Structure 1
Amino acid sequence: MTIEITAPLQPGYDSILTEPALAFLALLHRSFEPMRQNLLAARQERQSRWNAGEAIDFPPEMSSVRDDPTWQVRPAPADLADRRVEITGPCDRKMVINALNSGAQCFMACLEDASAPTWDVMVQGQVNLRDAAARTITLEDKGKSYRLSDTPCTLIARPRGWHLDEAHLRIDGQRIAGALFDFGLYFFHNARTLIANGSGPYFYLPKMEHYLEARLWNDVFRLAQSVLGLPLGTIRATVLIETLPAAFCAEEILYELRDHITALNCGRWDYIFSYIKTFQNDPGKVLPDRAAVTMASPFMAAYAAHVIRACHKRGAHAMGGMSAFIPVKDDSQANENAFAAVRADKEREARLGHDGTWVAHPGLVGLAREVFDAIMPGPNQLDILPGGDATAAALTTAPAGPKTLAGLNNNINVGIGYIAAWLRGQGAVPLHNLMEDAATAEISRTQLWQWRTQGVVLDSGEAVDGALINQAIDDQLRVWQAQVGDNFYAAGKYTEAAEVLRTLILADTLEPFLTLPAYEHYFAR
């Protein structure tokens, strides 16, 4: 029975990776790793059935849960009762301070898609979050001092999804799940501090695909609370409905976590990626250009309304998603257009019945708040139930739209740019005046993989094949080289990123997550 760290310990890491904390992680691993592996195998088995033509639908074995009108989730704690604006971002020290001071209601500190999962990023992120939970976090940087205000917003941590390992901590010779590493360290070190400060251990849970995965999280929560002697329901979770399979289990996920859950969130970008992945072999489910798939697309609008109905029926909040636009410096017209796009997006969410929304930049907090204050005068909109009922057809019918060479080139350009940033250790990056995270590259490479394997012919007449993909990658690599200049080879990682993207798009089978092989090759050693 061993606990082994296989990465260097930088100054300060020993205050996080303490013997009691590691023993807690070992307990979580030994208790839940077999079930995690079973659930990951079940994901592959379901995908194989969908690839063979089986239709996705609501789980029939849970119809009694969906039809039972009596059950509700626990009421939200006071500091999660009004979540009209949440800001998201990685866990670097400056971001954490600025986000907590942003004026938003909540900050989702992301150890998942907005963070590249290097050992140092993950452990230093825990150091920063511990100091934030204690409200002692400070930073001196380039002659400027950063401190928390007297009224920082509510802190919520997002651990990695069930599919990712933490390669640098082995329990009895096995890697620990990244989800348990991130959750366990944050909870162990901060739960009592957060409670003492009038808050609590709150989490955003990503990438779930089935209600049994929510049941596993619930079991983790129950054990963790018992170890620290905390009452049932101390932990509160918000689940990102960012996979198509999870949308078909939305009420069931609420049910499994009913003692601990406060909300579901519409993670739109990963949801588009998941739609492509789920229907990778279906020629009738090929999406148009990424830019043409918006929340106004019928299947996306049906998804948002379905999540709101499921939440409000059960007393949970329904959080809106991320408009990727960010403020644009030195271009007043582009900045005006970005703010107009964000305003329209937030107005749509508020009018549909969402109880709050996400922004990616402190400069957008005021705009989002203004919109929700005008449309949602109370703390939430739990009384609103959008009309209609969710059907499999409504959630899965692909919209019409263009399939263009410009769209193909944009996918490749953004895919290279994002993967290069990820390889440099940066998980959230502004590209072309949009804030992008791992979902960006996932949409880019899965869409082009599907276009290639389904023999899509672009509107301009080009067949999407290996030759076209290779040429476009070479062309966009030159675009990046011209743009970044001397740093292209010195530190840019663009050549490596292009090869990662090329390999994934031209593969015979679709890799479930690009971060799995990329992590093994670049970060796990």
Structure 2
Amino acid sequence: MDITRIRITAHAPGQDRVLTDEALGFLLQLHDAFECTRQQLLQDRRRRRAAFADGDSPRFLESTRRIREDASWRVAPPAPGLEDRRVEITGPIERKMTINALNSGAKVWLADCEDASSPLWRNVIASQVNLQDAIRGSIAFTSPEGKEYKVTAPETPTIVVRPRGWHLDEHRILVDGRPMSGSLVDFGLHVLHNADDLIAAGRGPYFYLPKLESHHEARLWNDVFVMAQQLLVLPQGTIRATVLIETITAAFEMEEILFELREHSAGLNAGRWDYLFSMIKAFRLRGPEFVLPDRARLTMTAPFMRAYTEQLVRACHRRGAHAIGGMAAFVPSAKDPEATERALAAVASDKAREAGDGFDGSWVAHPGLVETCRSAFDAVLGDRPNQLERTREDVPVDGAALIDLSTTEGDITEAGLRSNIEIGIRYMEAWLRGHGAVAIHSLMEDAATAEISRSQVWQWIHNESATADGRTITRERCEAIVDELAAGFDRNPGNRYREAIALFREIALEETYPAFLTLAGTERYLGDGAERPITGPIPVQERVAA
């Protein structure tokens, strides 16, 4: 391969170790084979999004009815290390957090290159370095205060990597002047550098696939897996992937997605936060009946969320695939034991519901939640690794239930509005500094939860929604809240609140609705590879046009 076609526009520690000539040649082969299809599928997304805005609704596909009605097919049996997934811990591939995840006692560690990782170049490279060191047993870390971190657990979790979604470019690696797919960069570097070591350790190169919107996008991933295995001389089926069902369109194609990935499938996950974001995005202009209450009220017991999760378990277990539950985002705090006790009880109840519904495991965002999640699933699973035998044929396949928001209970409150604005700005400020998972008010916020926050504000404004006190939510009202909050934000050296506030105004308060905050933020603030902090006071009255 002619790797002189590739131009790398940034540099970070460890880059020479990661971006070897062999790695660049491998990425170039993947790019040449699949970039055209990726762009076509992204165009399909845009057309579908426009159709929803015009009044169309997602539905089960007539063209794939035969796949859903054929009861004979199954996905491959669980791969080594993925038989028992009762508790999975998620987080960015930062060095200290990698060690904490490996010591957590979870069955699986979701090493996240996507929603929990800010796409600064140093993070992209460091994630790959840290994965290599973790897999080879050489990872260690010493904090600035001198505290040493190392892996001490006798048994570490199976590593499953989440690459960036199909919509995200890697603009620091250019081929013929155009960016590579962030998905293929994250996937390709991991599988090339680590597949042999993982297999030798009795595991394999496993992935979580985010943001899929159709079975055609799953088919593209399957084609990528087939080609990668051919190039690396790996047996077909060595690569396995769990798909996050976190878009409303994917919820109508769950069995088709499993079908496309059959020999590479490791199941589906109920990506609850992005799923809520997808619902709001798809129906944001469809009137008051599609307006949801405060984010804090959008629990998994809401009827449309119950329909989504139960139909997911049914689809998975009919086909012999794992069904993995959603995120518990609470961050325990020794400073507030009473609040922690209440939150742990809520987490235990949520995980008990998932286990009772038939899920085979679930996610947590903090090591302090691992035992709570494990206990809930132990109570149902006992010594069994999973409950694939529970096919949930009692669950109706009901498309109307998936998009019926009319029975969702709760109000829009002043506190909920202020919380969305505060979380949106605080998260994006941390994201611009390179932190993709941030504890805010005892909850682990990532890009998905920030997307909900900013999307609700946009939807409430454009539907002239009112808070429980009867006041209409307007742009001017939200601007006043932004100004009030801005005056109280920390102004420590290195903060990026100036840009975060401008970005929030662009993605939540302007007339145009950007599809993803990560796209808007990258294009406006990270597109040139700049990672310099912005210092100085926050201009309370500054306005930024879209």
TM band (smaller chain):
over 0.9
**Residues 310-350 of structure 1 deviation map (CA, whole Å, 9 limit, x = unaligned):** 00000000001101112022111111112111111111111
Corresponding residue for residue 542 of structure 2: none
Find the counterpart in structure 2 of residue 163 from structure 1: 167
* Residue aligning to 2:52: 50
Aligned to 2:503: 500
Alignment correspondent of 2:388:
382
Matches within 5 A, 1:187-266: 187-266=191-270
Deviation at 1:477? 1.9
Does the 8 Å contact 1:3/1:22 carry over to 2? Answer: no
Q: What TM-score do the two structures reach when normalised by structure 2?
A: 0.93
Report what 2:426 is aligned to: 417
Q: What percent of counterpart residues are identical? A: 50
Matched, 1:143 2:152: no
Deviation of residue 152 (structure 1)?
1.4
Deviation at 1:391?
A: 1.5
Q: Are 2:321 and 1:312 aligned?
A: no
Q: 2:341 aligns with which of 314, 336, 339?
A: 336
Matching of residue 277 in structure 1 with residue 281 in structure 2: yes
How far, CA to CA, are the matches of 1:385 and 1:405 in structure 2?
A: 43
Q: What's 1:517 paired with?
A: 520
AA in 2 matched with 1:392: G
Alignment of 1:474-485 (within 5 A): 474-479=483-488, 481=489, 484=490
Deviation at 1:506, TM superposition (A): 2.3
Q: For 1:77-226, what aligned pairs fall within 5 Å after superposition?
A: 77-141=79-143, 142-149=145-152, 150-226=154-230
How far apart are residue 193 of structure 1 and its match? Answer: 0.8
Residues 1:326 and 2:328 are matched in the alignment: no
What residue in structure 1 maps to residue 36 of structure 2? 34
Which of 372, 393, 398 in structure 2 is aligned with 1:391?
398
Amino acid at match of 1:495: R
Alignment equivalent of 1:446, drawn from 452, 455, 473: 455
Shift of 1:168: 0.4
User: By how many angstroms is 1:501 displaced?
Assistant: 0.9
Deviation at 1:84, TM superposition (A): 0.4
CA deviations on 1:83-108 (whole Å, 9 max, x unpaired) are: 00100000011111110111100100
Shift of 1:6: 3.2
TM superposition score normalised by structure 1: 0.97
Q: What is aligned with 1:289?
A: 294
1:426 and 1:169 map into 2 onto residues whose CA distance is: 21
Compute the displacement of 1:70 (Å).
0.4
Query: Separation in 2 of the partners of 1:11 and 1:205?
Result: 27
Structure 1 gaps of 5+ residues are none
Give aligned pairs, total: 519
Of 346-355 and 495-504, deviating more is 495-504
Partner of 1:361: 366
SS of equivalent to 1:259: helix
1:407 maps to which of 397, 401, 416: 416
Residues in 1 aligned to 2:401 and 2:217: alpha-carbon distance in whole angstroms:
25
1:384 corresponds to which letter in structure 2?
A: R
Aligned to 2:531: none
Deviation per CA, 1:485-520, whole angstroms, max 9, x where unpaired? x41xx2222232122111212222321101111101
2: distance between equivalents of 1:256 and 1:49? 25
Q: Tell me how far apart the structure 2 counterparts of residues 82 and 420 of structure 1 sit (CA, whole Å).
A: 37
* Structure 1 residue 448 displacement after superposition: 1.1
Contact 1:418 1:440 in 2 (8 A): no
Amino acid at match of 1:225: Q
Residue number in structure 1 paired with 2:544: none
Q: Residues 228 and 401 from structure 1, CA distance in 2 versus in 1: closer, same or farther, beyond 3 angstroms?
A: same
Q: Is the 8 A contact 2:12 2:125 kept in 1?
A: no
Moved more, 311-320 or 361-370: 361-370
**Alpha-carbon separation, structure 1, partners of 2:212 and 2:278:** 11
CA contact (8 A) 2:18 2:189 kept: yes
Do the aligned partners of 1:416 and 1:477 also contact (CA within 8 Å) in 2? Answer: no
Which whole-Å CA distance do the structure 2 matches of 1:292 and 1:343 have between them?
18
* Structure 2 counterpart of 1:435, from 444, 447, 451: 444
Query: Any stretches of 5+ residues in structure 2 without a counterpart?
Result: 529-546
User: What amino acid does structure 2 have at the position aligned with 1:302?
Assistant: A
The aligned amino acid for 2:370 is V
C-alpha separation in 1, matches of 2:267 and 2:309: 13
